[in-house]
Structure formats: structure tokens, C-alpha cells
Amino acid sequence: MGTAPDGAGASHEVIRQFGTTAILSGAVSLLLATWLTAVQLWPTLAPPIAWLSHGRLAIVQQHLLLFGLGGSALIACLYSLANHDTQARPGQRRLQRFTLQAWQTILVLGSISIAAGFASGHGQSEYPWPLNLLMLAVWIAVAWLFHVNWKAGPTARLPVAGWCFIGCLVMILMQHTLLSLAVPLGPLTSLPMFSGSLDALLQSWQKGMLPGGMLALGFIAMAYQALSGLTRQPLHSHRLAIISFWLLVLLLPWSGAVLLHASALPQWSQALGMAMGLLLLAPGLAIPLNGLLTLKADWPSLRHHPQTCLLGTTLLFLAISVMEHVALSIAPLNDMTFSAAGSLSPAGTLGVIGLVSVLMLYRLRLPEAPSALIMTHAWLAIAGTLLCIAASWTTTLLQGSLWHAVDVEGQPLHSLADVLAVARPPMLMTLAGLSCWALGLLLMAAYLLRASRRPITRPSTQHARHHIGHSHARGRTPA
């Protein structure tokens, strides 16, 4: 096996470090989620320390899952796709190192600051304003590196994954800027530039309806990238993929209507969000359908090939997540639930963000992992996601039926305590599902620790291309 050039080797090392960050962040996030669920079941387990309170650790857990696991895996995939056959220049290598170190700094200092009580109160942008500025700088650097490296490559056509990555970067730069607009009051404190219903409108709409919010197109791109590498054949319909991509770009920023109903927001905004949410059903289902039809030619491998199994279940959970969001965008269905935010199952967070990140981490960071380990991790993750989804749907139906039960005078028949108590049995299922997820990521982290003690052999550029599954045939795009 040949030795990679210095530029390619340095880029590969950055990708490996992003993969390590993703694995460790994911393990910590799922352990926190398991602990927080246990605390909800048995409140006496919670220590009387403000830093370890449920309200603060829940935000830390969400950000570690979205940005630590999902964001780190997303940046690793961006670099692997852009650096497929180009040698990074010294300036680009230094910028890649900056993005890695800055991203790790954001995750560590951001988690500490949120646990200390310095949170901005904005969904997907809870870090203090200096870290939000640093994150914006990281995304700008990642976007510039992706553009420069891809432009320097010899590939004639941009694959669908590349289009989705570009759309993801544009969405991130726009939405992260809007969500982070604030007036600094101190080193870690700030005042939001918008307030009241306008701030709620901005947060809800910019989150969107697809899993991952502003990172949603990036996770779809990761699925397309894995699909190209696993099937080694063109998409079932390249035209359908491109049409779905542009529809998502047009509709996604305006479709976050799940949390807007029965609120103080103007009626026109709720109606517009519901309309955009319904329109999003077609492109949202077209993406998983296109991927599953592409896998149809190699359908028997779903039972024997763990990575193909992970990809197929990711596409199924993506379809489930889209249908959930569309259903909750309809005002009458939304009103039937006890809590619209609580009615969204983990099909999006665990079933899409978690599974596609784990899949790409095995392809990029641990390509030498044995099939038995990947298969065990896949079944643990799938079983854990199904348990969490079943618990979420059960809780939604039970709480909704109790909350809307009234007598002839319109008074509720059940107290708030009764409505909350009925969620206890499903919460045990959630605890079991999160434990499965945490166990799978701990197995992955243990193998990573064991593999890191062995000598590292940097693969050649040809070998790296084989693992990321990117085709360089001119005039022919596999995905």
C-alpha cells in the first residue's frame, strides 16, 4: 500500500480526529440522556447541585448529540468528500486544524458554560455569544475549504451529496446567524435582539421540520454519500433527488409549524407554516423512497451487511419523522396532543441523526471494525430507537386522551398530576431504549480506544477513496 502525500495524510488525520470527537460526544450524550430519564423516574437520584440539575444537563445532552455527534460526523464527511483526490495546501491544512481545535473548544466550553447557567435560551444556539461567534467562524471556514477543495478536484459533475452539503452550509450560515443575534452584556451574557412572539417565530421557523434543524440537509447528504459507497451504482432517480433537494431548500425554512399552533403568534403565520409543512411531505418522503429503491437491487444484503442495514433503517426513520412533523403541522391533529414538542418521537434525533452518524463513523473513522461489532451496534441502536418511538407514541396517545377528557360543563376530568403520571410506564421503555443506545456507543468507544493503541497506517488516497465510496468517473454520478 502506498503512502499518502503529506497534504492528504494531514487531512485524513483531521477527519480521524473529528470522528473521535463524534464518538466520545455521542457516548457522553447518550449516557446523560439515560441518567436524565432515570432521574425523571426516580427524582431522589438527582444530587442537590445546580450544575447537575435536569434543566441544565438536558440542554448539554441535546447539544452534544446534535453538534458533538452529528456536527462532528458531518464535518468529517464534508472533508472526506471534498478532499477525495486533492492535496491540501499548507494554508488549508492549518485552517482544517483550526476548525478541529475550535470545534472541540466549543463543545467543551459550551457544555461547561451551559451547566454553569450561562445559556442564551435559544434552541440550537444555547451557547454564550463568544462561542456562537466562534461556531460561525468554524462553519465559514468549513464552507470555504469545501468550496476550494472541490473546485480544485477533477470531478466533472457534483454528486447529489455535494449539492445537499452546499445547501446545508448555506442553511447553517443563515439560520445560525439569525438565531445568535444578540446584544452582549458581559463576557458570557447577552440580550436577544428579538423578543416575545417574534423571537418564538424566528426560533420555531428556523428549526424546520426535518431531523437536525439547520443541519438537516447535511444528514441527508451523509445518507446519499453512504448510499453511493455501499451500492456502487447510480441512484434510482437522479432527477427525483435533484427536484427533492430544491424543494427542500425552498420549503424547509418556512415549515417549522409544529410548535406554532395555539400560541400568541398571528394566525397568518400559523396558517402559512401549516401549508408549508403539508407541501414538505412530498420531497420529505421522496428522499427515503429514492434511497430504498436504490437499495432494492441489493435487498438481501440488509440481513447480512450491517452498514447496509443501518442505512436502510435510517431511511425508514427519516420517512417516519417527516410524517410525524407533517401530521403535527395540521392544527386539529396538533390540538389533540398534550404537548406538541413532546409528541415528536426520537425517530428524527436517534433514528436519523444518530444512525447516519454512526454509519459514517464506521466508514470514515473505524473502517477496520469487525462486522460482528457493527452488527451488534446496529441492532442495539435499532432496538433502542424503536423502544423510544413506541414509548413516545404511547405517551402522546395516553396523555392526549386524558387531557382532552371533559365533563358536560367543559371542566377537565383529570388533573395535571394524573396526565403526567400516566407517562411513567412508557418512560421505562424510553430508559431501556436509551440504555441500548448508550451501550452501543460505549462498545464503539471501547473499540476506538483499543484501535488507537495500535500503530496507525495512513491509507493512500486510492484507499481512502475506496472507504468513502466516492466515484470519480467523469460524466457519471453514482449518487
Region 52-78: mean pLDDT is 92
pTM summary value: 0.88
For helices 216-231 and 355-364, angle between their N-to-C axes, nearest 10 degrees: 50
Based on the structure, what is the number of domains in the chain? 1
Residue 473 domain-assigned? no
User: Quick check: 83 pLDDT over 80?
Assistant: no
Domain that holds residue 120: 6-182+197-407+415-467
458/437: higher pLDDT: 437
> Alpha-carbon torsion 130, 135, 136, 140, what sign?
positive
pLDDT in tens, 109-122: 999 999 998 887 77
Residue 341 domain-assigned? yes
Residue 354 domain-assigned? yes
Query: Where residue 109 sits, what CATH number does that domain have?
Result: 1.20.210.10
pLDDT in tens, 193-235: 877 777 777 776 666 667 767 788 999 999 999 998 888 888 8
Residue 218 domain-assigned? yes
For helices 160-179 and 72-82, angle between their N-to-C axes, nearest 10 degrees: 140
Q: Is residue 81 very low, low, confident or very high in pLDDT (cuts 50, 70, 90)?
A: confident
Residue 176 domain-assigned? yes
Counting residues of the chain whose pLDDT is more than 70, the rounded percentage is: 86
Distance, in Å, from the CA atom of 61 to the CA atom of 44, rounded to the nearest integer, reads 20
Residue 216 domain-assigned? yes
User: Quick check: 106 pLDDT over 70?
Assistant: yes
213/144: higher pLDDT: 144
Residue 477 domain-assigned? no
pLDDT in tens, 423-456: 889 999 999 999 999 999 999 999 999 988 876 5
Q: Is residue 38 very low, low, confident or very high in pLDDT (cuts 50, 70, 90)?
A: very high
Query: Which pLDDT belongs to residue 121?
Result: 72
Residue 427 domain-assigned? yes
